[in-house]
Amino acid sequence: MEILRTPEERFASLPDYPFEPKYQDVAYPGGKRLRMHYVDAGPRGGDCVLLLHGEPSWSYLYRKMIAQVAESGCRVIAPDHIGFGRSDKPVDQAEYTYAHHVAWCTSLLDSLDLAGVVAFLQDWGGPIGFSLVAAQPQRFSAVVAANTILPTARQRPEGEVEGWPGPVIEAWMEMSRSAPELAVGDIIQGVTVEDLPVEVIAAYDAPFPNESYKAGVRAFPQIIPVDPEDPGALHNRKVWQALERFDRPFRTIFSDNDPTTAAWAEVFQRRVPGATGQPHTTVRGGHFLQEDSPRELAEAILSVR
């Protein structure tokens, strides 16, 4: 397996991202280990907050939230998924399975021995993070779900969103598969309400010196479960069974300008017991609401503890 590692100089002087890099070797199915990067900010003795990013972002997405939450006295862990950010990047897209991503994140949490965790989950951070919660519910004290999904590829089972995946997701799957070049920073700007400075757009591009580094970026859309017999669809049904027993605080905070995920807020509110009575909110923003409403998201995390 060929593995690329983005040169460290690509991450020099990124705006609003002063965090010292931390690395952990994570277990890889088959015995090989990969180096996973994570931000570890705030006091070690503080309550723990886990921030999981999605596609095609990395922990840079959380830079403003990390600072605010850490300054409140919390320990903040913000990993880069394998294939993203400062983490190792296998070249073969076949390495990026749903199960592998869950295994890598599980290995990181086990290695850090995290407990009492408030999980903030957005985009692919949702399905991966919900899988962690389902497997080890005792590790988590609360969940905040933001602009995320947990599809089983069925048509309206028990009220699930109709017509999944829909034309927007289908177009994104096709573009990520066939486009000769994926401009990551421009993609993030395209579904963000705020006009991002050119240096911020460049920071999102920093982990990817060329297209050979983007196997993980191209692979994530392809593993969205779109058939009821997909391994991911079968897995998500089991995750739903666990979430339907999760009675610790579960809050949704979705944006007002992300039609692809908007209907899922109500699905989580209705199906997760811990969502009952929570102050679910809608904030200004596109898909990457961390860029549009970071203060409100940080406050939501701190209030759910």
Range of the domain at 55: 3-304
Q: How confident is the model at residue 122 (pLDDT cuts 50, 70, 90)?
A: very high
What is the band of 213 on the pLDDT scale with cuts at 50, 70, 90? very high
Q: What is the pLDDT of the chain when averaged over all its residues?
A: 94
| Region 205-213 average pLDDT | 98
The CATH number given to whatever domain includes residue 230 is 3.40.50.1820
- What pLDDT, on a 0 to 100 scale, did the predictor assign at position 31? 72
Q: Which of 80, 88, 123, 292 is catalytic?
A: 123
One DSSP character per residue, 154-188 reads: -SSGGGPPTTTTHHHHHHHHHHHHH-S---HHHHH
Q: CA 232, CA 99: separation in Å to the nearest integer?
A: 8
pLDDT digits (tens, 9 = 90+) for 228-271: 889 999 999 999 999 999 999 999 999 999 988 998 999 999 99
CA quadruple 86, 87, 88, 92: dihedral sign: negative
Of all residues in the chain, the percent with pLDDT exceeding 90 is 86
Q: Is 195 a catalytic residue?
A: no
259-302 pLDDT per residue, tens: 889 989 999 999 999 999 999 999 999 999 999 999 999 999 99
Beta bridge partners of residue 213, listed in sequence order = none
Closest CA to 131 of 102, 156, 153: 102
Whether 157 has a pLDDT exceeding 50, the answer reads no
CA nearest to 201, candidates 183, 214, 218: 183
Burial of 91 (0-12, 13-18, 19+ CB in 10 A): middle
Q: Which of 109-118, 136-145, 149-158, 250-259 has the lowest mean pLDDT?
A: 149-158
Return the minimum-mean-pLDDT range out of 51-65, 117-131, 159-173: 159-173
pLDDT greater than 60 at residue 163 = no
Global confidence as pTM: 0.95
Does residue 123 carry a catalytic annotation? yes
pLDDT tens per residue across span 75-92: 999 999 999 999 999 999
- The number of domains in the chain is 1
Residues 88, 235, 287, 292: which is the catalytic one? 287
Q: Is the pLDDT of residue 164 over 90?
A: no
Angstrom distance (rounded) from CA 224 to CA 127: 10
Question: pLDDT at position 154, please?
Answer: 67
Residue 198, pLDDT > 60, answer: yes
Note the pLDDT of residue 155.
52
Tell me the percentage of the chain whose pLDDT exceeds 70: 95
CA dihedral 14→114→130→81, nearest 10 degrees, is 30
**In the prediction, which pLDDT does 274 show?**
98
User: Tell me, what's the pLDDT at 161?
Assistant: 59
Question: In 3-state terms, what secondary structure has residue 295?
Answer: helix
